[in-house]
Amino acid sequence: MREIATKIERKQLLDELELLNKLKNDGQETATREEVLRLVKVKEKELLEEISYWEKQEKALIGGDYDLSLFSKNILCGDAEIILRKPSDNDLEHYYFLKKEYAYMKSAFAKPEFKDKLWQEYISDENLYYTIAKNADDVFIGYCGVKNLDRKIWEIAIEIKSDCCHQGYGFRALKMYLDTVASISNRHEFASRVDTDNIASQNLMEKLGFKPYGLSEFFLHKEEDKLAAEEEYKDKLDERYMALARKFNVEPRKLLSHVLEYRIVV
């Protein structure tokens, strides 16, 4: 997925550069108004198609009402080393750093509006994200939570700062989170999507008891784009991918154009 994301990001940057070059007056013949409008309309059409796709996906997954007041406490749960608490303003820069650290398209972080949108999503009532903080100093080390409370099956997300990985924080945080949220909400089935290259996250899901469920779309939605990616990256299909395909009971090539979906019943 990272190779695909990099390719998409490069295309976006080149498109923006082309538009800027056409608008720039450097003594040469400048672009006509019609040429500029054409480029803008192409970008607008691509954006509208992307928005329309995800709106359709969400409508198909609507899961009914939920009572957010059940999660009114600042601290959701914790153990001797970490707590899961609601986000605070002190988490802001730590959260930006973490999101950029693992982002596929890092260039987007140069835009203040993008960073603000990320933060608003993190604290939104439409999600159920909690900061993972160390008990000793209450400093942000990561987060976990439900990505969209309107979905039928709540999808779990988790990210831990790289310098805090491989210390058991992710497993303990997500185990506490799932047990607590299931108890409070009376929802017991959860999903998680993981990149086919992200072996650490795959191991975490399986350690927690998540089971292979199938494949899910991520960056690529058009069939021709999926087929092109599967052809371009087919040399990546080593024995690990073959074993993964057997585990998820899918055609190996499909692993190159999709992400893995896991499910668990708590």
**Residue scoring higher pLDDT (111 or 168):** 168
Amino acid making up residue 53: Y
134/80 Cα distance (integer angstroms):
9
Rg (CA), the chain: 21
For the chain, list the domains and their CATH numbers. 1-60 (no CATH), 65-265 (3.40.630.30)
Task: Report the pLDDT value the prediction gives residue 221, as an integer from 0 to 100.
Answer: 80
Task: Report the pLDDT value the prediction gives residue 131, as an integer from 0 to 100.
Answer: 98
* Residue 61: pLDDT over 60: no
Mean pLDDT of the chain: 84
Q: Which residues of 189-207 are buried (b: 16+ CB within 10 A; e: fewer)?
A: ebbbbbbbebeebbebbee
Task: Report the pLDDT value the prediction gives residue 241, as an integer from 0 to 100.
Answer: 96
Task: Report the pLDDT value the prediction gives residue 27, as an integer from 0 to 100.
Answer: 47
Q: Are strands 189-194 and 154-160 parallel, antiparallel or unpaired?
A: parallel
Average pLDDT over residues 101-130: 91
* Residue 169: pLDDT over 90: yes
Residue 183 banded pLDDT, cuts 50, 70, 90: very high
Tens of pLDDT, residue by residue over 98-114, are: 999 988 778 888 889 99
Tokens 């154009």: give the residue: 257
Do 154 and 93 contact (CB within 8 A), yes or no? no
